Structure 1
Amino acid sequence: MFLSCQKHTLYYHSSYSIHSSKNPKLIIINCQNPNEQQQHHQKNHPIPRTQNSKSTSFLIHHLSQKNNNNNNTNPSPTELQDPTPHEEKIKLLELSLVRKRTPQFPGSIYAQSSSDPDVGSSLPPLRTIFQSGDEEEEKMIMQAIEIRRKVTQEVFKGAMQKGKFGITYSTNLVDRLGGFIDYVMIEAANLKRLPEYSNSTFNLRAKTVIEDSQVVPLIRWLKHNSLSYPEIAKLILMSRGKLESIRNRVEWLKSVLVKGDFIGDAMLKSGDNFLQRSDAELDEIVKYLMSNGVRRDWMGYVLSRCPKLLSYNLEEVKTRVQFYLDMGLDEKDFGTMVFDFPKALGHYSLEEMHRKVDYLKEFGLESKDVGKLLAFRPELMACSIEERWQPLVKYLYYYGITRDGMKRMLIIKPMVFCVDLEMTIVPKVKFFQDLGVTNDGIANMLVKFPPLLTYSLYKKIRPVVIFLMTKAGVTEESIAKVVALGPQLLGCHIVHKLEVNVKYYLSLGIRLRQLGEMVADFPMLLRYNTDVLRPKYTYLRRTMVRTLQDLIEFPRFFSYSLEGRIIPRHKVLVENQINVKLKCMLACTDEEFDKMVKNIIRKRNKIQSSVMKANTTHPQSLIAGDITTTP
């Protein structure tokens, strides 16, 4: 039923059509009383619907802002409160920045014309949405930049997929190209200043920048040259936008014989200035190294193992080369050293190199000796003084090894000073202690045979000890003596050396227990080749007519030279009709042997002369005596 009055007005609020129920209500308001109309409007304000609450709040706020601007009145703080949630603001910002049409749906308040590709044309002005302080504005600017960055990444991925790269490969690579993405984004923004791109979309400008840079064909070419996508990403970032320098440096590395598998690693480790250097500078370094003994066909290997050489200028390289030449290395030794361990030349600082050389001289080595040592084992330059050498020296000194002993170890086997103390040396020493070797015996072993410390404990030393105790007849009580006297035995191959010798000795008629006693007396018995043993044994049995027991009692017989000692001394004994034990015959110097022979001859002559004198003085008494003693 309608209310009657002088003048009625039919009022239908637009917001009610959005928030009301399915049958919007018509409200008749007496316009003669505006206050009554406002009270009636507030009283009958319907409850907003849930699904359109955000769009309705935005529309109400937009209309209220428009009315406030027309009335030129200052709104209250409650009226300025933005009803749009923060998430909705971000979505609106994305729609404003992304130049791509979004799907439409019935009832959408952001109408979009199919002929207008600009999404922003149908959106409300952003200044009506983001009305806040400087902090909020700065935050929104950063979010806008991040959105543009994501748009640029998508454009880059699209260009790579157009270049027939897989989705996974494109995503993995683009995720590592943050700096280059920013470069493309900035260049695309700069293109808008040009007249021909003033009305173009951001997507088009970003795509133009990517195509002009030829980055996608470059990525294809680098991948063809065996570079992984992390290496490609780092190189693109190192180029600082000058992508053509990457191709130039790759071609140069290939010209000096750097293989494809090492090109990426060489470029990444050669310093940030490598891409900016000219071919002439790099060629001068190569020529100088070649003039000092580094062969041309070695250059690719050297530069791939030590690409840091390419970060130095020519004067720096000359200083480093002269550092080794001053220690007495010639061109051949220097070139070989650089080939064996290229990092010795270019990886370490000059100050560190001088400190290590000075430390090695403290063992009593001269400068030329250190040079020979580094030429033979340049890996010493990779060892730290504080972490590797000083703990090793203290450990060896604890077992009684003097500085001269360490010097001998360093000269004979410099690799000992390169191995890890806790992981390599300590377990071996503890193993020898468990066998029963004393500390003095361990010190003598290490000084006598330093390579022992470089052998594998579980693959070399323990298997040999087990073989000696099970197959060579060495008892548990004698194994410590065998190891201490013959540490070189622990370096022999079981199958090719020890088993062959054991079978040969057993074939001579020596029993296993006797062989164990022989090895305990002379451990080096098992190290000789059977080709050397056979002639000596044949001469012993056939020419010298000695028994096998003589050999068992003196196993060191096999250690003497057949032509140099055994045959000459045997001839002397035969000529003088002398027969002595093998030990007396061989285990002495030539002077002692001659003196022994003369003493035996003098004693024999003395006895013979006394007998002859007795025979001439009392011949009858001797005969009578003989007769009387006969029964």
Structure 2
Amino acid sequence: MALGVAKPTYFLIQTDSSLAIRFRLIQSFSFQTSSFRNLSLNRNGGRVARMQASSTSMDFPPTTRSRPSRSIHPNTNPAPLSTAKSLYGRPSLKDMRNEKAANRARVYEFLRGIGIVPDELDGLELPVTVDVMSERVEFLRSLGLTIADINNYPLVLGCSVKKNMIPVLDYLGKLGARKSTFTEFLRRYPQVLHASVVVDLVPVVKYLQGMDVKPCDIPKVLERYPEVLGFKLEGTMSTSVAYLVGIGVTRRQIGPVLTRYPEILGMRVGRVIKPFVEYLESLSIPRLVIARLIEKKPYILGFDLTDQVKPSVEALLESGVDDKAIASVVTQYPEIVGMDDLKPKLLAQRHLLESIILVGFEPEDFGRIMEKMPQIVSLARAPMVKHVAFLQGCGFSMKQVKEMVVGCPHLLALNLEIMKRSFEYFHEEMERDLEDLIAFPAFFTYGLESTVKPRHELVSKKLLKCSLAWLLNCSDEKFHERMTYDSIGIEEMEEQEEEEAEISSVSSFLQLQKTPEEESTYSDEESEYDSSFEEESDDELNDHK
């Protein structure tokens, strides 16, 4: 009310130049007083006459000489005051849309000009200027990516250089990933540039460390299988690891298994891992042996069950391998069930052996050879020819060579220098007949210094006569037990040889039940095999990786 009283008082002290002006002021004061009285009454009645109050709350200018007053009548609405034009006018929504479309069109034109097809970028937030988009393209190309790589995944252009790309690459570098691998890394998994370091990448790295993957091996895992950075912890990764532990894979071996073959983390248990394990079990391979196979060669889980494993087993059966021996073949050389087109390879290898061993080689002989040494499918012609020539040079006929090879096909893969030294000791120190070697050709597979010499010397001191099989085809513990005998009966010797006939003469091919610590003692034996055989096997192995 004070405001309403102050205004007319201010105007009443002006000069009395005319009676008309004075009358208007008094009339205005009366109108304001009645308006405020009405406003008070309306409030008491629950209604507020806002329009009426607002029309009477105008501030009058300090002087009326330069601008005449406007008369306000209670029954007439005052004329609206002209509004001043804003200095910060906003464009309309239509103008904004048109400008955005024009900017995107310029960006698309730039991308097409350098060979990038922007069709998949509709709906993706892109830079509004060509300069920013050019910066992104140049940064990606500085990482080694080509225009073709960008076209394979054009959505990478939606990543900001400073907010997305640089933080992700810096984090990978801190983990130890080599810059030289970034190009291939991004070609395989460019989606990583969309990831948040804290939300997406750090949890996966911590999970791998929790699975006993060594920090120094984390970069190797990521370089080999970058897709792992896109997995959720509660999804496929957890279930695949839990299943492997459930079938017998040792918990402390999970880290090494994932380091060698991290693709396991992306395999679905129900669709991939479990059907594979169950099929191997149907071949009479115990589940614990399957677990040991996975620990030693985890990449076998990557073999396609329908297109590789089952056709390979059928090819082995057709080549003459006995169905009861399939389990032994697979456990000795699991890579064989992952080979593409195994059937023609087996056929070619059989013809190769027939051409080298011309006398008496029968189709079923190839089946026996495969049962004892399935790795022969990867053996080249040159080493086989050399080994056959060596045996002939020792005085064996081709028929005897065929018999020895069928009995112990490892003769075609052993290191020739070691075979020569073993034969010299056999001939000069042991002074045995060639017939002994024909009966037990696996003699060449035993270490001369570690096994043959010590055992022969002990037997000679006791003046015992025994076959090579009785001398060598047993463990050290069993042999020392035999050395407590005063004499050896012929019948007893034959019975023992029959009991041990199923024992493999070359333990280095199959140590499935041994721990990694125990396996280290066999590292020297691998050198007894011909280097060309090892190279051939490594090449075959790389094909499956």
TM above 0.5: yes
Q: What's the CA shift for 1:437?
A: 3.2
One of 367, 371, 375 as aligned partner of 1:488: 375
- Alignment partner of 1:213 is 2:106: yes
Partner of 2:190: 307
Q: What's the CA shift for 1:406?
A: 1.9
Q: TM-score, normalised by structure 1?
A: 0.55
Partner of 1:531: 417
Going from structure 1 to structure 2, the CA distance change for 1:498 and 1:276 (only over 3 Å counts) comes to closer
1:49-128 aligned at under 5 Å gives the runs none
Q: What's the CA shift for 1:218?
A: 4.6
Question: For residue 515 of structure 1, what is the amino acid of its counterpart?
Answer: V
**What's the Cα RMSD here?**
3.3
- Residue 404 of structure 2 contacts residue 441 of structure 2 at CA under 8 Å; is this kept in 1? yes
One of 394, 398, 404 as aligned partner of 1:508: 394
- Alignment partner of 1:343 is 2:230: no
One of 415, 420, 424 as aligned partner of 2:299: 415
Which whole-Å deviations, capped at 9, do the CAs of 1:346-396 have from their partners, x for residues lacking one? 267852322322232322235542332121012223434333223323322
Going from structure 1 to structure 2, the CA distance change for 1:406 and 1:578 (only over 3 Å counts) comes to closer
Distance in 1 of aligned mates of 2:285 and 2:244: 16
- Residue 436 of structure 1 contacts residue 480 of structure 1 at CA under 8 Å; is this kept in 2? yes
- Alignment partner of 1:397 is 2:284: no
SS state of the match for residue 477, structure 1?
Answer: helix
- Residue 460 of structure 1 contacts residue 490 of structure 1 at CA under 8 Å; is this kept in 2? yes
Distance in 2 of aligned mates of 1:602 and 1:467: 43
One of 465, 472, 475 as aligned partner of 2:350: 465
Question: For residue 417 of structure 2, what is the amino acid of its counterpart?
Answer: D
Distance in 1 of aligned mates of 2:134 and 2:275: 48
- Alignment partner of 1:557 is 2:443: yes
One of 546, 561, 582 as aligned partner of 2:468: 582
- Alignment partner of 1:441 is 2:334: no
- Alignment partner of 1:479 is 2:366: yes
Q: What's the CA shift for 1:514?
A: 1.8
**For structure 2, which runs of at least 5 residues remain unmatched after alignment?**
1-93, 490-545
Distance in 2 of aligned mates of 1:486 and 1:461: 13
Task: Return the index of the structure with the highest Cα Rg.
Answer: 1
Partner of 1:66: none
Which whole-Å deviations, capped at 9, do the CAs of 1:511-542 have from their partners, x for residues lacking one? 23222222232232222121211111122222
Distance in 1 of aligned mates of 2:110 and 2:460: 92
One of 261, 283, 301 as aligned partner of 2:166: 283
Partner of 2:256: 372
Which whole-Å deviations, capped at 9, do the CAs of 1:206-233 have from their partners, x for residues lacking one? 9xx589936545533x33xxx4xxx344
Which whole-Å deviations, capped at 9, do the CAs of 1:261-314 have from their partners, x for residues lacking one? 5541475254xxx62535144322222222223223322321221111112212
One of 239, 244, 250 as aligned partner of 2:137: 250
SS state of the match for residue 509, structure 1?
Answer: coil
SS state of the match for residue 247, structure 2?
Answer: coil
Question: For residue 447 of structure 2, what is the amino acid of its counterpart?
Answer: S
SS state of the match for residue 419, structure 2?
Answer: helix
Question: For residue 415 of structure 1, what is the amino acid of its counterpart?
Answer: Y
- Alignment partner of 1:357 is 2:241: yes
**For structure 1, which runs of at least 5 residues remain unmatched after alignment?**
1-185, 192-205, 604-631
Question: For residue 510 of structure 1, what is the amino acid of its counterpart?
Answer: F
Partner of 2:179: 296
Partner of 1:386: 270
- Residue 352 of structure 2 contacts residue 381 of structure 2 at CA under 8 Å; is this kept in 1? no
- Residue 474 of structure 1 contacts residue 519 of structure 1 at CA under 8 Å; is this kept in 2? no
- Residue 380 of structure 1 contacts residue 417 of structure 1 at CA under 8 Å; is this kept in 2? yes
Going from structure 1 to structure 2, the CA distance change for 1:268 and 1:347 (only over 3 Å counts) comes to farther
Larger RCO: Structure 1 or Structure 2 (Cα < 8 Å, ≥ 6 residues apart)? 2
Distance in 2 of aligned mates of 1:434 and 1:544: 42
SS state of the match for residue 181, structure 2?
Answer: helix
SS state of the match for residue 294, structure 1?
Answer: coil
Going from structure 1 to structure 2, the CA distance change for 1:248 and 1:354 (only over 3 Å counts) comes to farther
Q: What's the CA shift for 1:598?
A: 5.5
Q: What's the CA shift for 1:333?
A: 1.1
Partner of 1:92: none
Question: For residue 486 of structure 1, what is the amino acid of its counterpart?
Answer: M
Going from structure 1 to structure 2, the CA distance change for 1:487 and 1:278 (only over 3 Å counts) comes to closer
Q: What's the CA shift for 1:454?
A: 2.2
Q: What's the CA shift for 1:553?
A: 1.8
Distance in 1 of aligned mates of 2:267 and 2:178: 27
Moved more, 333-342 or 351-360: 351-360
Question: For residue 454 of structure 1, what is the amino acid of its counterpart?
Answer: G
Going from structure 1 to structure 2, the CA distance change for 1:571 and 1:211 (only over 3 Å counts) comes to closer
- Residue 316 of structure 2 contacts residue 343 of structure 2 at CA under 8 Å; is this kept in 1? no
SS state of the match for residue 442, structure 1?
Answer: helix
% identity of equivalent residues? 23
Distance in 2 of aligned mates of 1:593 and 1:496: 37
